[in-house]
A and B are shown apart, each in its own frame.
Chain A
């Protein structure tokens, strides 16, 4: 699980008085995770950097609004998700995402491909080609589903924290998470099916 180390608790009072040192500490402890989320939300480094900078600029401007009901990192994730969604909305040119490759039956998600690729060697599962493919695959999720998956499964937030960051109910979060996981499983299964077929030629 991708977790950032908190070496020292941040003085919230100092932060709310816009103490530069306290804010530098906040940036220091959270910039890596915010960049990672932004990169995977928007899919390219330049836009991820814009989201990263905007997130901390907004955090600095609105720190009084942080009431401490969630972790400060959850609050930052929330700003970063909103910034990413705004950027994605601007970028979209009428193309809408459809959760292709997934069939739904009365709200259930039915797996289409049943192939056991877990037996592949770890080296192959984490090759640069696979990493390149999974980065493309995650972009096929709807923006809302991708945010849920990233917060819960990549950033390691609890269901409650992820639902707070997205401002949705825990049950809505779980639905988005399930759909994302199943869609990505289908994407990876199709990919590894091709790889296994090549090996057997």
Chain B
């Protein structure tokens, strides 16, 4: 038999992505937050999931177009590369 606590853990897992994206309605969001106050495992999953996304976002910010790749791109498109970069 499944206990209420387990049901709440399952409910969090099913709504995890929507929860961290802030897409849930207020009632469900409140229910999840109440559960997170007492369930350490769920809190760890939520925190490490958010951190995972954060690490990938930061890595993305550090990935930029190398100047030589940019030069070859403009050349292959026969476009003039304006020296003032907008990006």
Evaluate contact between A24 and B57: CB separation under 8 angstroms.
no
Contact indicator per residue, chain A 103-136, by CB within 8 Å of chain B (1) or not (0): 0000011110011111000000110001100110
| Residues 1 to 50 of chain A near chain B (Cβ within 8 Å) | 1-2, 4-8, 20, 23-25, 27-33, 35-36, 39-40, 45, 49
Q: How far is the CA of A115 from the CA of B47 in the complex (A)?
A: 10
B interface SS class: helix
Given contacts A28-B87, A35-B69, contact A126 B17 (CB under 8 A): no
Q: How far is the CA of A30 from the CA of B76 in the complex (A)?
A: 16
Pick the residue among A35, A108, A116, A174 that contacts B13 (CB under 8 A): A108
Pick the residue among A4, A24, A116 that contacts B79 (CB under 8 A): A24
| Residues 39 to 66 of chain B near chain A (Cβ within 8 Å) | 41, 44-45, 47-49, 51-53, 55-66
CB-CB under 8 A from A6, the residues of chain B are: 86
Q: Does B82 contact A (CB under 8 A)?
A: yes
CB-CB under 8 A from A134, the residues of chain B are: 55-56, 59
CB-CB under 8 A from A149, the residues of chain B are: 56
CB-CB under 8 A from B62, the residues of chain A are: 131
Evaluate contact between A57 and B17: CB separation under 8 angstroms.
no
Given contacts A111-B45, A154-B60, contact A4 B87 (CB under 8 A): yes
Q: Which of A39, A156, A178 has the most B CB atoms < 10 Å from its CB?
A: A178
**Inter-chain contact total with CB atoms closer than 8 Å:** 135
Q: How far apart are A193's CB and chain B's nearest CB, in angstroms?
A: 11
Size of chain B's interface in residues, with CB distance under 8 A?
A: 43
Evaluate contact between B48 and A116: CB separation under 8 angstroms.
yes
Q: List 27 A-B contacts (CB under 8 A).
A: A2-B61, A5-B87, A24-B80, A25-B86, A27-B74, A28-B86, A29-B86, A29-B87, A31-B87, A35-B63, A35-B69, A57-B77, A114-B44, A116-B44, A118-B51, A126-B55, A126-B58, A130-B55, A134-B59, A135-B59, A153-B57, A155-B60, A174-B17, A178-B16, A182-B16, A182-B49, A184-B52
